[in-house]
Structure 1
Amino acid sequence: MGTIKLLSVLAVISQAAALLTSPPKIVKQPTQEELLFQVALPGEVDKPFIIECEAEGEPAPKYRWIKNGKPFEYSSYDNRISQQPGRGTLVVSKPRDEDLGQYQCFAENEWGTATSNSVFVRKAELNSFKETDGQQIITAEEGKPFKLTCEPPDGHPSPKVYWMLQGDQGQLKTINNSRMTLDPEGNLWFSNVTRNDASGNYAYTCAAKSIFRNEYKLGNKVYLEVKPTGISPALNKHEPVRQYTTRRNERGLKGKRVELYCIYGGTPLPLIVWKKDGSPILSSQSITQDNYGKTLVIKSPRYEDQGTYTCEVSNGVGSAQSVTIPGQCRRKRVHATRIKHCATLQSSDVIHLSRTPISRSPTAPFFTVEPEIQNKAEGETAEIRCEAGGTPAPQITWIHNGVPIDQTPGNPRRRVSNDGKFIIITDLVKKDTGNYGCNATNSIGYVYKDIYVNVQYDLGANHIMIPTDHRQVDRPSNNVPGDHRLITCVIPLRNYNNQFCA
């Protein structure tokens, strides 16, 4: 009798398992940001890269790709592009320039088509500096501020620019001096020039580094001659003079590092004090100072960081100088901070400026209500909601099985709200099973999420309706007292009282 009962239960479970169909669900996909790759130079080893795409579903989904809006047949690329077995992930073993483009993956089975993020694949590169004729010799006056200008080469991503000292034999040495400061544009500022700054057996060289490529390029050598003043260095004094400060309109994004610059020259070396709303700023985990106090770093801007920032500069010569930088943050949900620089240089210890209203900074879309997977039975109603914020206000569009919903066959039981924030499907039937993607887009970017509606047959009260979960329970054995065994149960998500357990 026990054997017959067990076989009956197994038959029911087998029947339930046969009903466990589902549309594809993307579990790995490309980043929404651009994907970089490198093309090997002559003599270099190829540097493969992948474009991820993997999905779950029953039956197992098949994959296809589009590139720049057209079907992408990777097999026609002389075996240098392949697809991972059982997955949709593309493997580019020998990257070439022509691999640049916009890629998107589709995973499909008989119940629906899931759509991945669309990713722009771009080549990382770093060009060389422009060559100049002969060596460059520049003269600076002792004791006065000075600037070495750098014209960095083009590259993607933008290279990190810095200055180094290069010897006659090509040896390189870093610059670490409180009188020398690099601005964001790559220029090297001397707060004041000393005789020791003159080039002897070394030259100043601007360098550009590609972090992604782990490659750097050197510019032309610049030899610095220092013209002595004939005055004792102790008597050679100059009041503070502004060299570089943060630009008048500086946009910052919430959570993205912001740097405020206050570079002044003078002899002796000027002392800089940063204040917010008139109060000195103390270094903390979120706000620090760099470049010997010439840079204020807000590591992860928050709403509380809005205010008026002032750098006060003095060196005991002339009057103290100050620059005021009003900054405002919008509400947290906007995910943005904007720093506005209203810098007017005046001879006063403190400048009082009223806060200037500023428009909301443009921000990429972000979900405030994300669409969620819907597991339903026939006859029920599915409601898919999707809301997003951003500036400008994003437009919401829907994708159904990889196609814009307005281009799919009509369904009299399906309705999309006028504002696009939800879809309702009433009196569900099995053929309503499928994938739905919400795409929120504005001029800054987009955010996308693909989900599915999975409708299971209703076979009556004695049968499982939505067998979408398997669980193990600890149950005493009927044969051996005190013996406990783990037994697998198939459990419908809508009603945990209906469990198939032996």
Structure 2
Amino acid sequence: MAPARMKTSLFVVYATLLSGVVCDEPELRILPSSATLIKPIGHQTLVTCRPFGGDISLISNIRWLDTKNRTIEPTKSETKSRISVEDMPPDSLALIISSLQENDAGTYTCVASYAGSKILSKSVEIHTIVAVTWVDAPTEQYPELGKDYKVRCKVTGKPAPRVEWRVNGVTLSGNNRLIAETDGLLIQNVEVTDDGTYTCRAFVFDTGELSERHIKVEVHIPPKFDENEMKGSMEFVEGESASITCKAEGKPSPTYKWIRSSTKENLGISSDRFSVNEHTGVLQINKVTRDDNGDFVCFASNGAGSVEHPVRVTVIIKPHVLEIRNISVAAGQEGVLECRATGNPLPVVTFRKLSSETPMIAGLQPNDERIVVHQREDRERQQAIGTLAITPLKTTDDGLYECIARNKGGNVTSNGHITVEFPPSFAHTPMNISWSWDHRPVNLTCIADSIPNATITWYLNERMIQRDPNFFIYNKGPQSSILVTPTDTKFYGAYTCLARNIHGEARHDIRLMEAHHPQEVQQAKFEVITGKHSQIYLLRTSNYLQISIYIVLYVIYLFFVATTVKFNFVEPRTDGGRPIKAYVAQYKLENQNWPEAQNKTWPVDAAYIIEHLIPQATYHFRFSALNEVGYSPWAAPLHTTMPRRSNPEEPTILNLATPPNRFAESSYGDRFEIRWKKPADNGEYIDRYDLEYCIFTGPISEVKRADGDSFKENASYKTSRLNDVLANEVKDCKTLEIRNNEQTSYALEHLEPQTLYKIELRAHNAIGFSTPGQILFRTARGDGPHSARTSDGPITTAMLIAFVVAALFVILFIVDVSCFFVNDTGLLWLACGKKSTRTPRDEETKLGSEGKELLNNGHRDGKIRIENKPMIDDGYKKDTTVEYDMKKSISRTSFVGKDSAV
């Protein structure tokens, strides 16, 4: 036994060593790993060879041999061979054939040396094929209707491919007009329905190659003219643009060309005056001339044929203005404008001023007797002559005039100008006064209107301005400016620009004034003094020191909560020559000096408000006005002690009354939106608004402004808070709480149409309510509910609970009454004392005799079944059922619950 085991062990060791030797034997591997490669001609081919197994560091001199066992050299940068080898990291050598040819087929061998003595080799055989090639197979082909046509599809390949046809995806079969041939598909007597996609399929069974060529076949139809749309003759007016349209039907749509019969020229390429649209057939003639008389021929062509159609053109000569001379005449004299025109027939000549829409008539003009239009004919020259005479001329007659020549060929116009000469005028010089200060340069400009242009000379206080460094004159007409640098008071005064031309002269004065600082503000007064609200923030800490500090700081904050003051000003007696641009306030505490004061600046007409003032502190104020020159002296001192926190100010209602009414109008019959301005909170946060609205029944004559003023346009009219009679003459009042303190509008809905309402709006803070803002409004005509209520009115929790409890009581009462009449149970049955006196049979008899009419509503016949579901299911084995028969009156009770009171 032991010798056998020893032999087995030796065999395993020997096999292991032998397999290790075999596994470590080196070799060459080629990728792709197939021994035979089939490649199409013209494609690039790549084959790699790499060592495998053993110690590959002993393998060297790897190289590729071609089909004739010649070593293939690697590619060099300066030359590039079609067949070459390249090193491919880390240890492979690639055989690359850039464009495979038929004679490249054969066996290629990879060879290497191992340990300097042993030769390793590995071969691969490359077979070449010729892929399917489309020799003549255009993808778009166009047969002609009614003729035979071969759809061309010629292919080659090695091995030779087989060809089959499909038409619109259907294999060709059973069509005698379609005949497959070696180089295409013959269509006999082409029809319109032969349009479609023809698929030529070429496949090689030996290689499994399949290729398709989709050929779009479109049947062409020769063009044909529509005689109903083509005109044989046309008339055109000389000088105008004209067009002739040629239209033919065909497939594909034909292209067009136009030929002039007299010269045989192609008008689309031979003339600048003619243009032809080859796709629409429109011949466009730019400025028809007399030479265009004659025949024009249209040719329509497509791939299936060509047709032609002649058109005779007759030219009408329209009027032509030969001459209109501009004239220039002085105002007050006679001006005559003459216009000469020709045409066949001779035109009628009239005139129109371009600033007028209506042409003039022959003779005296009805709206201006100074203007006369005459007309005469010069038969010798074949000219019509029109004259426009204006006596006397005014400057308003200056301008362009249109000469209109009209005959049956149409109208032509030409413009002439009448220039009316007049002496200078400074009507368009707006500058009469200018300002300067602190030696600032200022520009003075004059514009002299005149024909011919005037020359302008400048004077200062009646003395001509000579060369002076303080003056610089730009231009001398018709517009002239002078730059003045007033370094001295003598340069202020009257500057005169004198304009002269051949017809006269004119002068214009511009006064240069020196501007100053404004005078002091006459008066300042307080308009509103209010407080701002404070807010408390929770301190999340358990540290007693932090809590103490927080409480002290909060008390200080409450004392120093900022307040606001608003001013009104009485402007200075004089602004110093320049308008007031802003007002400035200085303010300080009573114990401070003015150098420590703070400044606040407002533009004119702004809200003059100073914020963040300390409550209960005394402030001193003084004011100044600002213009372009500078500030006025400080003036109008005020002082005041800021107020404590208090109730909010009255909300300002923004809805306006429309005169002559003294109430606001709603555009709707059942709703109205009230808008207000958020009032000052006077130091305490506004937490809500209370809005009360009532139907107003008092007379409108008692309505007046809350401040007692009389009625004014666009004012907000309110009921007087002091008029108790007015306040009491209301009904159906409702009050709403608006908890959103940022809300400034509210929509009241479900109002009565054409009804006058009164609204009171109060703002509330921690201190109390404001005085109410009041307004009257009237709803428009229309349908509406009979009670006014708002859709936004909140339903409180208490109201909801009360509603639920009431509903439960009603349901319990209904159930108890049902139990009383049906089962002789319930609180009502016990309260009536019926428990011990009645037997079931008595109840059945009574129910049969007395309950008939009640249950049957007076009917003698019929059967009513009432099923009562128990209020409490526990303890019942089956529901109680009562059947009423109006003839037998039988009552049954089955399986009464064990806990029932019956």
Short-chain TM bin: 0.3 to 0.5
Q: Which has the higher contact order (CA 8 A, sep 6+)?
A: 1
TM-score, normalised via structure 2 length: 0.22
Question: Quick check: which has more Rg, 1 or 2?
Answer: 2
